[in-house]
Amino acid sequence: MDGLLLVGFLVIIWLDSRLLKKRERLLFKKVFILPFTMAGVLWGVLGLFMFFGFYDTKILFLMIFLFLLPFYILRRDRWIKEYPVSKLLTEGDPITLASDALGVLIHWFFIMIILHSLLGSLFLFGHGNKPDQELLQMLILAVFSFIVLWVLIFDASRKFSDKGFWVNMGFKDRYPFFSTILIPIVLGILCACVVIFCVLTRGFHPSTPLGDILGQIQSPGVFLFFIFLALIVAPFAEEIIFRGYFFEVIKRSQGPHVAVIIISLVFGLLHAGQYWGDWLAISFIIILGFILTLLRFLTDNTRASVVAHYAYNISIVIIPVILILSSPEMAKILDSRY
């Protein structure tokens, strides 16, 4: 999974550099071209690591973080400062918005690596149940991730229009109750019912990283914090990020159908780490992402996907509780499956 993230991040940098070069070729050469000696040293060090067998994913992450990422962000920020204001005001929206979106991802990745390292160092000196600490660290990182992305998106989305943040994120002032409230609620509940039915009827339940941690936690506070984030915070925050901001960027640059496909796949793949090893669960997440993104596209309103996401997350918790309370036999089955 780390290898996939590494490849994905390198692809993002490559795409971003191509867009910057397309927007202003001469400025790109001026800002980004390294002296041959410095480039030779960097590639020489990387070559030595590869030659001596130090090509572990964590080592590659460290190399990229120490050499490539800070350099690229500093050069990118310099490019933005030196970019001609006249071109910024007159050039087409799609390229500018796509470049800004890639910049959001690059800055977010850089900040989260720093926060992950700091939290990891702090939790090394912690005491108590290890799964509790692992889950708490994961939840704290999730909160910071949402905050960082929201701040970056708030600034970048100003180029959508001058109508304000919520309109730019797809929350229309007028919305039909049937298409943006009722149908999304029904779809969310139906998706949860299908998932629970498959869990109950499948012959086995594969081990997953998230399931292993949840099965060993001892702190009620940590568990309640997890439930709070899963039911209250995550649906709204994820919809703003995926189907509010990035969907709009891809729709304007590549078209709505491409946006539906990309957002659905990325949404599923970013959740895959939690369910790694359970391919049925990963497939369900990708399908859920497709349904939510399709709702966003068909209604042209992010409110519809937010409502459906809340309906799904709440139902996936509430329905098993109702089944457990209604039947002791069902409680035993669910306990063996979840």
Q: How many CB atoms lie within 10 A of CB 264?
A: 23
More confident residue, 119 or 304: 304
**Cα 99 from Cα 97, distance rounded (Å):** 5
Q: What would the two tokens of residue 216 be?
A: 């060993």
* Six-digit token string for 259: 């946006």
- 174: tokens are 């007028």
Q: Is residue 22 helix, strand or coil?
A: helix
Burial class (CB in 10 A: 0-12, 13-18, 19+), 336: exposed
Find where tokens 């497939």 sit.
283
Burial 196-207 (b: 16+ CB within 10 A, else e): beebeeeeeeee
**DSSP-assigned states of every residue in 279-302:** HHHHHHHHHHHHHHHHHHHHHT-H
CA dihedral sign of residues 172, 176, 177, 181? negative
Q: CA 105, CA 71: separation in Å to the nearest integer?
A: 16
* 91 vs 204: CA distance, rounded Å: 55
Question: For residue 3, what pLDDT is reported?
Answer: 60
pLDDT in tens, 202-247: 777 778 888 778 777 788 888 899 999 999 999 999 999 999 999 9
* pTM for this predicted structure: 0.84
Determine the residue type at 229.
Answer: L
Q: Which of 49-53, 130-134, 194-198, 310-314 has the highest mean pLDDT?
A: 310-314
- Per the CB < 8 A criterion, the answer to whether 56 and 119 are in contact is no
CA separation for the pair 103, 156 (Å, rounded): 9
Please state which of the ranges 162-171, 291-300, 328-337 shows the lowest mean pLDDT. Answer: 328-337
Q: Which tokens sit at 233?
A: 């915070």
The tokens of 283 are what?
């497939």
Alpha carbon distance 255, 98 (integer Å): 12
Q: Is residue 144 within 8 Å of residue 112, measured between CB atoms?
A: yes
Least reliable range by pLDDT among 2-11, 66-75, 210-219, 279-288: 2-11
